[in-house]
Every structure is written in structure tokens, then in C-alpha cells.
């Protein structure tokens, strides 16, 4: 079990690791070693509450496949172990964000003073633009 929050943990069976060759610097060694990590998190096998799952799908966006698998790729480091840890940290961070309930929005109205300031600014701007116009002549 991997702890995410005090009340939420994910099972390691829901994770699937794949290792890929990575581009970038490294010379001949880069062509032989698979240091890039692809972490696949199966949402169907994970025991996530429905509200957390829905927020996770919304937060993950294009990283969720059609089959309901979250895919995180890590290739920032040259070592496979560091990339594994990076991918896992990113998954836990995403799950923590999904576990937080959004604060409900409270409707507010602009104050009377704010309305007056807005209208005063509009009048001022209108007056500035009016003064820039060429003088009106009837004979043209």
C-alpha cells in the first residue's frame, strides 16, 4: 500500500511499470538502457471513492486512456530509479489534489462603491474619447 493521504492509499497491484529507452544525452549508453519510465495506474482496479475518481479524471485530462488507465511518463533523470520515484511522486501529487474537496463558490455582488467607481471610470474614458474627436461641422 502506498499512502496518499491519511484516509487514502493505493494498492501496488493497480500500478504497472514499463521501461523505455529515452532520448537526449548519454552517448552509446542511452541506446542500450531503458531509463525512461511509464507508470500506468488502472482506475478500475484502484479502490478510489467515486468523487475522488471523478476529480482525478478531470485533473488528468489527456493522460487518461479510453480504457480508464492513467499514464504518467518520467524521463527527466538519467537513472531508472530516479525516474521511477519521479513518476510515483507525480501520481501521489495528482491523487492528493483529487482528494481535496473543492471549496464551494459563494455568490457575491459588487458593492455600491465598486459600481460607482466603475461608472465613474466609464464616464471618464468616454469623455477622453469624445475630446479626441475632430470638431463637428455642419457644412461638410
The predicted pLDDT at position 15 comes to 86
Per-residue pLDDT in tens (0 to 9) along the chain, 140 residues: 777 777 787 877 788 899 988 776 666 776 777 888 999 998 888 888 888 888 888 998 898 888 888 899 998 888 889 999 999 999 999 998 988 898 999 999 999 999 999 999 999 999 999 999 998 777 65
Closest CA to 68 of 81, 57, 79: 57
Total residue count of the chain as it appears in this document: 140
Distance CA 31, CA 8 (A): 39
Helix (H) or strand (E) holding 20: strand 15-20
The predicted pLDDT at position 77 comes to 86
For residues 94 and 56, is the Cβ–Cβ distance under 8 A?
Answer: yes
The predicted pLDDT at position 79 comes to 85
The predicted pLDDT at position 120 comes to 98
CATH topology (fold) of 2-99 = Double Stranded RNA Binding Domain (3.30.160)
Domain spans of the chain, in order of start: 2-99
Q: What is the pTM of this model?
A: 0.70
The predicted pLDDT at position 139 comes to 64
Amino acid at each position: 500500500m502506498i499512502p496518499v493521504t491519511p484516509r487514502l492509499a493505493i494498492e501496488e497491484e493497480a500500478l504497472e511499470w514499463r521501461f523505455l529507452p529515452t532520448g537526449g544525452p548519454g552517448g552509446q549508453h542511452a541506446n542500450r538502457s531503458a531509463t525512461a519510465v511509464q507508470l500506468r495506474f488502472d482506475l478500475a482496479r484502484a479502490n478510489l471513492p467515486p468523487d475522488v475518481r471523478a476529480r482525478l479524471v478531470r485533473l488528468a485530462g489527456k493522460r487518461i486512456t479510453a480504457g480508464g488507465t492513467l499514464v504518467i511518463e518520467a524521463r527527466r533523470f538519467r537513472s531508472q530509479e530516479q525516474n521511477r520515484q519521479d513518476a510515483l511522486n507525480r501520481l501521489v501529487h495528482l491523487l492528493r489534489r483529487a482528494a481535496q474537496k473543492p471549496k464551494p463558490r459563494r455568490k457575491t455582488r459588487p458593492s455600491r462603491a465598486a459600481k460607482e467607481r466603475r461608472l465613474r471610470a466609464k464616464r471618464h474614458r468616454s469623455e477622453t474619447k469624445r475630446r479626441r474627436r475632430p470638431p463637428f461641422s455642419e457644412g461638410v
